[in-house]
Structure 1
Amino acid sequence: MRSVRLLAPALAALLLLTGCTETGAQDTTADQGFVNGDGAVAQWDRPTTQPVTFSGKTISGTDFSSKRYLGKVVVVNFWYAGCPPCRAEAPTLNSLATKYAGDVQFVGVNVTDDRATAAGFERTYRSTYPSIVDQEGNASVQLAFASSKPPKAVPSTLVLDRKGRVTARIVGLANKSILDTLIQDAVDGNAA
């Protein structure tokens, strides 16, 4: 609950700036395919899910399995190459992945691109963590998180605790300081 109190002023400012809909969800534009505005943040004192397990082939062709990272905090980011907010948040994700290297595993989930397009994005933005090409796996990673994020909410970033349970979610462009706080809370065990 400490983090929620710390984040309250920032969240209030974000709500004023983002123009949320009546339901509190971010405005989405179907023909654009991405979530507009800054990220809507949710953090829970207790995880909202049972442990989520997922796996898939990374852009480099290696196998990724969340089971390998049980005992670590995992940050999962859903993205695709043509998404302007995804490009805008790439430096934030890379910076935080470097900051938490060894303690937190970051993984991207590319939701629409073929392997070559996704690889081009990773080269351009110098990604420091692996990404799964989910459309080649019949969207199995997206299905694994179906109860944790809106289906077409891209970008979205989820923070999983050491047991693989969702403790926080950002729908839309991730703010660096807010995501940093959500990750640190999970590392410290304050999110669950």
Structure 2
Amino acid sequence: MNRQWGWVALAAAVALAVVWQFAAERERPAEAKMGEPAPAIRLASPEGREYELRPVDGEAVVLNFWASWCLPCRAEASELNDLAQRHGDRVRVYAINLTDKDRVEDVRGFVREYGLEPPVLLDKSSVAAESYHIASLPTTYVLDEQGLVAWRKLGPVTRSELEEALGLKETSSAGD
């Protein structure tokens, strides 16, 4: 009888392991790969407004991943603001905070202190960070008008680099 329960327990453990593996596989977020469609991701702002991270009405998208404690992220806030001000009619800029490594109060403080203007989104469950393989901060991606992953930069980014990646260089004013 004990031997029979041993086999039942072993079979149950194997079945549980198989079910867990399939569940874990399904929960993995889609991956962002250069030249391929960007993963469908929705994130919310600290105020609760939801945004879909994809092009709308033929506009390209800039996704900037940051955290309040990241020193280079502080330096690039003005570059993101400048890009959004100059090209906001053709480009959507999103500042995605890795909230699992930050506190919402710190996010709000950063936005106030550095005047970050693009919509700030909270990646509370790390879905976007995992999909875009964020291993260092800041990291910036560009999605083209068709929603394809077109460009990536590890480290701080400048408005000029983003304009070039977006094909907007020729439209910026002289002397920039």
Same fold (TM over 0.5): yes
1:73 maps to what in 2?
60
| Structure 1 segment 57-68 matched on structure 2, within 5 A | 57-67=44-54
For each residue in 1:123-168, what CA deviation from the matched residue of structure 2 results, as whole angstroms up to 9, or x when unmatched?
A: 111111112111x2x101112223xxxx322101111001221111
Query: Alignment partner for residue 153 of structure 1, among 133, 136, 156?
Result: 136
Matched, 1:165 2:140: no
CA RMSD for the aligned pairs?
2.2
For each residue in 1:4-26, what CA deviation from the matched residue of structure 2 results, as whole angstroms up to 9, or x when unmatched?
A: xxxxxxxxxxxxxxxxxxxxxxx
Matched, 1:181 2:170: no
Query: Alignment partner for residue 88 of structure 1, among 60, 75, 87?
Result: 75
Cα pair 2:139 2:152 within 8 Å, conserved: yes
Normalized against structure 2, the TM-score is what?
0.70
Q: Secondary structure at the match of 2:153?
A: strand
Matched residues in 1 for 2:139 and 2:102: separation? 16
Cα pair 1:113 1:133 within 8 Å, conserved: no
**Structure 2 segments unaligned to the other structure (5+ residues):** 1-33, 172-176
Matched residues in 2 for 1:174 and 1:68: separation? 20
Matched residues in 1 for 2:85 and 2:94: separation? 13
| Higher RCO (C-alpha under 8 Å, 6+ residues apart) | 1
Cα pair 2:55 2:61 within 8 Å, conserved: no
**Structure 1 segments unaligned to the other structure (5+ residues):** 1-46
Greater per-residue helix proportion: 2
Matched residues in 2 for 1:180 and 1:172: separation? 16
Q: Secondary structure at the match of 2:167?
A: helix
Cα pair 1:70 1:163 within 8 Å, conserved: no
Normalized against structure 1, the TM-score is what?
0.64
Cα pair 2:54 2:61 within 8 Å, conserved: no
For each residue in 1:63-120, what CA deviation from the matched residue of structure 2 results, as whole angstroms up to 9, or x when unmatched?
A: 1112573631000000001111000111111101111112110001111212211111
Matched residues in 2 for 1:160 and 1:79: separation? 17
Q: 1:99 is matched by which residue type in structure 2?
A: R
Matched residues in 1 for 2:108 and 2:159: separation? 24
| Structure 1 segment 7-156 matched on structure 2, within 5 A | 47-67=34-54, 69=56, 71-111=58-98, 112-134=101-123, 136=124, 138-146=125-133, 151-156=134-139
Matched residues in 2 for 1:93 and 1:67: separation? 18
Matched residues in 2 for 1:58 and 1:49: separation? 26
Identity within the alignment, %: 28
The number of aligned residues is: 136
- Answer with 1 or 2: which has the greater Rg: 2
Q: 2:88 is matched by which residue type in structure 1?
A: A
Segments of 4+ moved more than 3 angstroms: none
Matched residues in 1 for 2:167 and 2:55: separation? 21
Matched residues in 1 for 2:68 and 2:151: separation? 24
